[in-house]
Structure 1
Amino acid sequence: MTIDVPALRAQFPSLASGIAHFDGPGGTQTPRAVGEAIAATLTQPLSNRGSLVVSERNADAAVVAFRSAMADLLGADPRGIVYGRSATQLVYDFSRHLAKRWGAGDEVVVSRLDHDANVRPWLQAAARAGATVRWLELDPTTADLDLDALDAVITDRTRLVAVTAASNLLGTKPDLARIAARAHEVGALVFVDGVHYAAHAAVDVRALGADLFVCSPYKFFGPHCGVLAADPALLETIEPDKLLPSTNAVPERFELGTLPYELMAGATAAVDVIASLAPVDGTRRERLLAAHHAIEQHELRLRTRLEEGIRALDGIALHSVAADRTPTLFLTFAGRDAADASRSFASEGIHAPAGTFYAHEPFQALGLDVEHGLRVGLAPYSDDADVDRLLAALSAFVR
């Protein structure tokens, strides 16, 4: 199965601007169906959740549909789907929840490959609890985690391992199964940042070995919000700080205040757009798996074209070299500022941003003597014309 890219692009009003978007790792464009779902939910009769009148039932239906859609997307249980304002907020929340049980002698493992949202909250929580932090190191030559010391880093004292499923800077997909197996061997929880991964691959939280998994719908066509997936039985063992009158039921006890029903409806619509890319019979989960297979093949083909074109140019260093990775490339330029490249491309209607992208640890681990690099990220709506424009702009810039 292949993606009908022109038909997909026609669903995104913003693409009529003519901009070639390579900023997907920071957030994709939004299809018309998502905007319509948000507007329809917000303007229909709407109240706090309940069952007495249609406005209450509409709110409840939005929440139920959101949990069902996210469970289908992630291979999870709807009862274990937690809504959050962002993935960063969810990591901070759960770092505080889980750290209540930590103390001196306990250890927390983080990685040099991760976005800072899956590093700093754990470091800060560990410091408050008196726990020790240990690191999985990044090998800059392979752009992957060095797991030779895995058994020494994850010990009988480890309480939690926080690691990414895919680097938002380099695209690297580390060997999560190996990391999770070692963590579970010593009884530690595995907290996975799946924000970048969920935009490019079919997710099965159990197969990944993730006890807690976070992602962000705005990375895959949805509105700005976050999602956490976990086994509801595990969530039952975690006690958050909460208001006394608010429910203690899982997953609601982790969701503070009135939920934004319109954003939940938008996220549900985004999942349905992805599922619609697979014109096959079956459940939504089965269609999502087929769609993601087609997405991966499409993005891999375009990534290969980009890499071949970049390697043919002088003066560009490609740091995304891991064997298993997403269609995200991180580049630096010999004697040139990546920000200048980004500005030059923007003047030609090509959006490829420059920066470190909150990936503080991997950027430092690369040992670069520059302030930032250029990140080029593909999305399902990217096409060959976009790639042609970027390669031409890169060639002109390095000349």
Structure 2
Amino acid sequence: MPFDVAAVRARFPSLAEGAAHFDGPGGSQVPDVVGRAVADTLTSAISNRGTATPSERRAEQVVTECRQAMADLLGADPRGIVFGRSATQLTYDLSRALAKQWGPGDEVVVTRLDHDSNIRPWVQAAQSAGATVRWVDFDPATGQLDADAVAAVLSDRTRLVATTGASNLIGTRPPVCRIADLAHEVGALHWVDGVHATAHASVDLPALRADVWTCSPYKFMGPHCGVVAASPDLLETLRPDKLLPSTDAVPERFELGTLPYELMAGATAAVDFIAALADTDSLGEPGSPLPQGDHGSRRERIVAGMKAVHAHEQALLDVLEPAVRALPGVTVHSNARSRTPTLLFTVEGRDPQEIRAALAEGGVNAPAGHFYALECSRHLGLGDTGGVRVGLAPYTSEDDVDRLVTGLTSALR
């Protein structure tokens, strides 16, 4: 059935300001149901988790529902869902726990395609343990990161391979399944930064064969927080530093302090909104509850919703990308065969921030920089300056694309 972008946009109060948002890779806009879930939870009678009082049980229910929602989104086990302030924070915390098992002679693999949150925690953890860091480069011309390049640095001393599910800077999707197999062949773990990837395609953790997947709900229309998905059996092997009275149960042993129940409720609402995108004709009026899905399980509706999102974003990209590439002086750095609807580009003789500012004057939000993918930007030859990044989202319309192309054309005159 057709993707009704007008019905989708009607559920996003922020779009009433009138900006065309291409800044989704840095944080998406939020539908009304997510904001309401956060507010309702925050203003409800709620306590620390327990079973004695209604407020305790409410907190317990919020946590249980969020773990299940994230498990449904990622095809994971809810007992392996760890919640935290951000994917960066969770990666740092778990890298320290993993590094307790490393020593001199051990090796850790990172790539120059990644966001620094999937590089620096591993580099620093390896340094603390006396382990060696192995780097994998990508082809700056094509944007490809090949499995053979990963295979070339693996050995029987490799303990962990950290790669992205999709580059937040240029959109490249590495061959996650193949890299996971290569890592497992030498007895290593495969840690995947799925923060950018999760927003653009359905995730099936067992099928991808990765050991750990991180994501951030605020990249897929939820609140600011982070999630790790892993096998409960793997998490049982890790001993993080924690307070003495806190539980040693998995996954709670990794969740330091009281959980932000309102954000977890918002994350659940974001997953339910993705599931509702399988049938945009039934989204309902702004401010109304989402319709109860009666077409399969929530997992099945999520997969269908993400399929609809992918088709919508790809159709827009097929219009946007040729128009951007045709502009004089523009170089597009997003060239991989498999990638998200994300374009990084530079303009000869122009500072990316100047282009960003010109677009902003016309109500088009397209930020510029390296976006913490510092190694990637440098490897592309863009130094610490980076480029202008535009990303598509479920609420992006044809009119938004027209405004972007018109604004760029005007800025380059």
TM range (shorter): over 0.9
Q: Identify the residue that residue 59 of structure 1 maps to in structure 2.
A: 59
Q: How far off is 1:306 after superposition?
A: 0.8
Q: How far off is 1:141 after superposition?
A: 1.1
1:182 to 2:182 alignment? yes
Contact preservation (8 Å) 1:137, 1:146: no
Contact preservation (8 Å) 2:137, 2:149: no
Shift >4 Å, 4+ stretches: none
Q: Identify the residue that residue 226 of structure 2 maps to in structure 1.
A: 226
> In the alignment, which of 345, 351, 356 is matched to residue 365 of structure 2?
351
Q: How far off is 1:97 after superposition?
A: 0.4
Please list, as runs of the form range in 1=range in 2, the aligned pairs for 1:6-45 lying within 5 A after superposition. Answer: 6-45=6-45
Q: Identify the residue that residue 104 of structure 2 maps to in structure 1.
A: 104
Contact preservation (8 Å) 1:339, 1:372: no
Q: Identify the residue that residue 132 of structure 1 maps to in structure 2.
A: 132
> In the alignment, which of 332, 350, 355 is matched to residue 318 of structure 1?
332
User: How far apart, CA to CA, are the structure 1 residues paired with 2:164 and 2:150?
Assistant: 15
Q: Identify the residue that residue 394 of structure 1 maps to in structure 2.
A: 408
1:329 to 2:371 alignment? no
Q: Secondary structure in 2 aligned to 1:35? A: helix
Root-mean-square deviation (CA), in Å? 1.0
Contact preservation (8 Å) 2:21, 2:364: yes
Q: Identify the residue that residue 149 of structure 2 maps to in structure 1.
A: 149
Figure out how many residues of one structure are paired with residues of the other and give that number: 399
User: How far apart, CA to CA, are the structure 2 residues paired with 1:182 and 1:278?
Assistant: 35
Distance change in 2, residues 1:369/1:271 (3 Å): closer
Please list, as runs of the form range in 1=range in 2, the aligned pairs for 1:353-372 lying within 5 A after superposition. Answer: 353-368=367-382, 371-372=385-386
Q: How far off is 1:278 after superposition?
A: 1.2
User: How far apart, CA to CA, are the structure 1 residues paired with 2:162 and 2:2?
Assistant: 35
Q: Identify the residue that residue 278 of structure 1 maps to in structure 2.
A: 278
Please list, as runs of the form range in 1=range in 2, the aligned pairs for 1:283-322 lying within 5 A after superposition. Answer: 283-322=297-336
Distance change in 2, residues 1:278/1:317 (3 Å): same
Contact preservation (8 Å) 1:113, 1:144: no
Q: Identify the residue that residue 165 of structure 1 maps to in structure 2.
A: 165
User: How far apart, CA to CA, are the structure 2 residues paired with 1:73 and 1:186?
Assistant: 29
Quick one: which amino acid aligns to residue 397 of structure 1? Answer: A
User: How far apart, CA to CA, are the structure 1 residues paired with 2:226 and 2:112?
Assistant: 23
**Partner deviation per Cα, 1:370-395 (whole Å, 9 max, x = no partner):** 72310001111001000000001111
Q: Which sits farther off after the overlay, 307-316 or 350-359?
A: 307-316
1:92 to 2:70 alignment? no
Distance change in 2, residues 1:346/1:2 (3 Å): same
Contact preservation (8 Å) 2:377, 2:384: no
Contact preservation (8 Å) 1:218, 1:225: yes
TM-score (norm 1): 0.98
1:338 to 2:359 alignment? no
Contact preservation (8 Å) 2:343, 2:390: yes
Unaligned runs of 5+ in 2: 280-293
**Partner deviation per Cα, 1:99-144 (whole Å, 9 max, x = no partner):** 0010011000000100000000000000010000001111101101
Q: Secondary structure in 2 aligned to 1:55? A: helix
Q: Identify the residue that residue 373 of structure 1 maps to in structure 2.
A: 387
Q: How far off is 1:146 after superposition?
A: 3.9
Contact preservation (8 Å) 2:161, 2:183: yes
Please list, as runs of the form range in 1=range in 2, the aligned pairs for 1:191-270 lying within 5 A after superposition. Answer: 191-270=191-270
Q: Which sits farther off after the overlay, 161-170 or 142-151?
A: 142-151
Contact preservation (8 Å) 1:162, 1:192: yes
Q: Identify the residue that residue 285 of structure 2 maps to in structure 1.
A: none
Q: Secondary structure in 1 aligned to 2:389? A: strand
Q: How far off is 1:202 after superposition?
A: 0.2
Q: How far off is 1:271 after superposition?
A: 0.5
Quick one: which amino acid aligns to residue 208 of structure 1? Answer: L
**Partner deviation per Cα, 1:274-320 (whole Å, 9 max, x = no partner):** 10111360000000000101100110111111111012211100000
User: How far apart, CA to CA, are the structure 2 residues paired with 1:24 and 1:32?
Assistant: 17
1:5 to 2:19 alignment? no
Give the fraction of aligned pairs with identical amino acids, expressed as a percent.
63
User: How far apart, CA to CA, are the structure 2 residues paired with 1:152 and 1:397?
Assistant: 44
Contact preservation (8 Å) 2:176, 2:208: yes
Q: How far off is 1:177 after superposition?
A: 1.2
Unaligned runs of 5+ in 1: none
Q: Secondary structure in 2 aligned to 1:332? A: strand
Q: How far off is 1:369 after superposition?
A: 6.0
Quick one: which amino acid aligns to residue 347 of structure 1? Answer: E
Q: How far off is 1:176 after superposition?
A: 1.0
